Amino acid sequence: MIHLDHVTKQYHGFTAVQDLEFRAAAGEIIGIIGHNGAGKSTTLKMIAGLIAPTTGTVYINGRDIQKHGVALKRQIGYLPEESPLYENMSARQYLMFFSELYNMPRAHARRRIDELLTSLQLQNPEKLIGEYSKGMKRKVAIARALLHDPLLLILDEPNSGLDPLTSFFIIQYLKSLRHSEKTILLSAHNLFHVESVCDRVAILKNGRLLVFDTMEAIRANLGKREFQIAFRANETLTYARRDDNYLYHTHEIDDLTAMLEKISARGWTLVDLAAQESALEEIYVKLMTNPND
């Protein structure tokens, strides 16, 4: 679906994105994360065809977005981080206006708008957009990006500035789009949301791609697993305690095995054994603070 072929973008000698190479298949949800200025928005704008790479090529379904922009943009829905709306229109009027820009038949447009208003829980669609909360305005902007049923959906910080409940709703809504076989590119600072919804994650630093893989592979290659054993003993020990249990933590499988053997040999009681994987946030901080990357 998407292929960035050694894409570089420079602004007056400053390199915003450097030699970016990755592919995204149809139906995938891809998370793009990085520090402010890492090149996330620039990358999304190049994929959307809004700006041209300095060198390299962005392909959508095998076609150069710069050479076939008009045709390919009909297949793209784009939501920028800052997305002003026409606040003197109602949500329904606003979406109908954009349906005309997409040359959608009016009957089809009305049905599509009703579908989006319902699925996004956009209440009071006859109300002026200027009277909506920020969360409701963001839902209108998402509805606009989805109006023409694009194959590729590009979302730059869709949850920016939203309350936790609205953010959770939008993430769950994006998950619900999996059945539609849309490819979704998602930039977000909330790494928990990225981890929970994305099939693969691209991590950018200073315009370069450090990592592009599944969360499972990222954890295996860059994270660490912590084991916790909770046990009871009829004697006083120096291990940390929680309630009536002693606690033992380790990252090493050999230490885990040795401790389990010790518990068994001493006649102590094993209460619980749990393993916890590194969160994306922990791995991200490690990468961003590594001076060698």
CATH 3.40.50.300 in the chain, residues?
A: 2-218
**Is the whole-model pTM more than 0.85?**
no
Is the Cβ–Cβ distance between 44 and 184 less than 8 Å? Answer: no
CA–CA separation, 176 and 282 (whole Å) = 27
Residue 30's nearest CA partner among 272, 244, 209 is: 209
CATH code for the domain defined by 225-277 = 3.30.1490
Best CATH choice for the domain 2-218 from the list 3.40.50.300, 3.20.20.10, 3.40.50.620, 3.40.1160.10: 3.40.50.300
Q: Is 52 exposed, middle or buried (0-12, 13-18, 19+ CB in 10 A)?
A: middle
Asked whether 7 and 64 are in contact (CB, 8 A), the reply is no
Q: Cβ–Cβ contacts within 10 Å for residue 177, how many? A: 16
Q: Which residue intervals of the chain bear CATH 3.30.1490?
A: 225-277
Q: What is the pLDDT of residue 175?
A: 87
List the chain pLDDT tens, one digit each, 293 residues. 899 999 999 999 899 999 999 999 999 999 999 999 999 999 999 999 999 999 999 999 999 999 999 999 999 999 998 889 999 999 999 999 999 999 999 999 999 999 999 999 988 999 999 999 999 999 999 999 999 999 999 999 998 878 888 888 888 888 888 778 899 999 998 898 898 899 999 999 999 999 999 988 998 889 888 899 999 999 999 999 998 999 999 988 899 999 999 999 999 999 999 988 888 988 999 899 887 77
CB atoms within 10 A of CB 220: 14
Phi first, then psi, for residue 71 (nearest 5°) are -70, -45
d(CA 82, CA 155): 11
pLDDT value of residue 164: 86
